[in-house]
Structure 1
Amino acid sequence: MKIILTGATGVLGSHIMYEILELFINKKIEGKLFIIARNKGKNSALDRINELLSSNYTPKIIKDKGITKLHEYIEIIDTDLAVIQDTFSSQIKDAYFIHSAGYVNLSTDEEQREKIFDENTKITKSLFNLFHPFIKKFIYISTAFSSGERKGLIDNDFHNLDFIPEHRNAYENAKFHSENFVVKQCKSLGLPYQILRPSVIGGKMLGKESNYFISKYMVFYLLAKFFHFTAQRKNEQENVRFIINEKTGLNIIPVDYVAKVIVNTFEREDIQQLNIVNDKSFNIVKGLQLIMKEVGYTNFTLIQSSLDFKYKNTIEKLYYESIGKHLKPYLVTEANEYDTTLLNSILEIPKLDQVAFTNMIRYARLNNFKDINV
Structure 2
Amino acid sequence: MKIILTGATGVLGSHIMYDILENFITNNIEGKLFLITRNKGKVTAKERINELLSSNYTPKFLLDKGVDKLNQYLEIIDTDLAALQDSFSEKIKGAYFIHSAGYVNLSTDENQKDKIFNENAAITKAIFKMFSPFIKKFIYISTAFSSGARKGLIGNDFHNLDFKLEHRNAYENAKFHSEEFVIQQCKELNLPYQILRPSVIGGKMLSNENRYFIPKYMVFYLMAKFFHFTAQRKDQQENVRFAISEETGLNIIPVDYVAKVIVNTFEREDIQQLNIVHNESFNLVKGLQLIMKEVGYSNFSVIQNTLDFDYKNTIEKLYYESIGKHLKPYLTSAANEYDTTLLNSILEIPKLDAESFTNMIRYARLQNFKDINV
TM bracket, shorter-chain basis: over 0.9
State the Cα distance separating 1:85 from its structure 2 match.
3.5
Are 2:84 and 1:86 aligned?
Answer: yes
Are 2:211 and 1:211 aligned?
Answer: yes
State the Cα distance separating 1:336 from its structure 2 match.
0.1
Separation (CA, whole Å) in 2 of partners of 1:219 and 1:31: 35
Query: What secondary structure, in the 3-state scheme, does the structure 2 residue paired with 1:197 have?
Result: strand
State the Cα distance separating 1:208 from its structure 2 match.
1.6
Structure 2 match to 1:222: 222
Structure 1 match to 2:182: 182
Partner amino acid, structure 2, of 1:295: V
Partner amino acid, structure 2, of 1:337: E
Structure 1 match to 2:20: 20
Partner amino acid, structure 2, of 1:298: S
Query: What secondary structure, in the 3-state scheme, does the structure 1 residue paired with 2:228 have?
Result: helix
Deviations 1:47-92 (A, max 9, x none): 0000000000000111111111111100011335xx7642321110
Query: What secondary structure, in the 3-state scheme, does the structure 2 residue paired with 1:114 have?
Result: helix
Separation (CA, whole Å) in 1 of partners of 2:327 and 2:286: 16
Query: What secondary structure, in the 3-state scheme, does the structure 2 residue paired with 1:86 have?
Result: coil
Structure 2 match to 1:339: 339
Separation (CA, whole Å) in 1 of partners of 2:27 and 2:78: 28
Partner amino acid, structure 1, of 2:114: E
Structure 1 match to 2:368: 368
Question: Could you tell me whether the CA contact under 8 Å between 1:39 and 1:78 is conserved in 2?
Answer: no
State the Cα distance separating 1:162 from its structure 2 match.
0.6
| Count of residues in Structure 1 that have an aligned counterpart in Structure 2 | 372
Partner amino acid, structure 2, of 1:17: M
Separation (CA, whole Å) in 2 of partners of 1:86 and 1:178: 23
State the Cα distance separating 1:204 from its structure 2 match.
0.1
Partner amino acid, structure 2, of 1:212: Y
Structure 1 match to 2:60: 60
Separation (CA, whole Å) in 2 of partners of 1:171 and 1:124: 13
State the Cα distance separating 1:42 from its structure 2 match.
1.3
State the Cα distance separating 1:173 from its structure 2 match.
0.1
State the Cα distance separating 1:164 from its structure 2 match.
1.0
Structure 2 match to 1:147: 147
Structure 1 match to 2:100: 100
Structure 2 match to 1:198: 198
Structure 1 match to 2:74: 74
Separation (CA, whole Å) in 2 of partners of 1:46 and 1:163: 46
Query: What secondary structure, in the 3-state scheme, does the structure 2 residue paired with 1:4 have?
Result: strand
Are 2:130 and 1:109 aligned?
Answer: no
Partner amino acid, structure 1, of 2:92: I
Question: Could you tell me whether the CA contact under 8 Å between 2:294 and 2:358 is conserved in 1?
Answer: yes
Mapping of residues 211-250 of structure 1, within 5 Å: 211-250=211-250
State the Cα distance separating 1:227 from its structure 2 match.
0.2
Q: 1:57 to 1:165 in 2, by over 3 A?
A: same
State the Cα distance separating 1:274 from its structure 2 match.
0.1
Query: What secondary structure, in the 3-state scheme, does the structure 1 residue paired with 2:91 have?
Result: coil
Separation (CA, whole Å) in 2 of partners of 1:187 and 1:79: 25
> Which 4+ stretches in 1 moved above 6 angstroms?
none
Q: 1:84 to 1:216 in 2, by over 3 A?
A: farther
Deviations 1:177-215 (A, max 9, x none): 000000011011110000000000000001121000000
Deviations 1:280-304 (A, max 9, x none): 0000000000000000000001001
Are 2:134 and 1:134 aligned?
Answer: yes
Structure 2 match to 1:281: 281
Partner amino acid, structure 1, of 2:243: I
Separation (CA, whole Å) in 2 of partners of 1:165 and 1:180: 13
Separation (CA, whole Å) in 1 of partners of 2:82 and 2:105: 23
Question: Could you tell me whether the CA contact under 8 Å between 2:106 and 2:169 is conserved in 1?
Answer: yes
Partner amino acid, structure 2, of 1:86: L
State the Cα distance separating 1:307 from its structure 2 match.
3.4
Question: Could you tell me whether the CA contact under 8 Å between 1:294 and 1:361 is conserved in 2?
Answer: yes
Separation (CA, whole Å) in 1 of partners of 2:234 and 2:298: 12
State the Cα distance separating 1:306 from its structure 2 match.
1.4
Separation (CA, whole Å) in 1 of partners of 2:307 and 2:169: 21
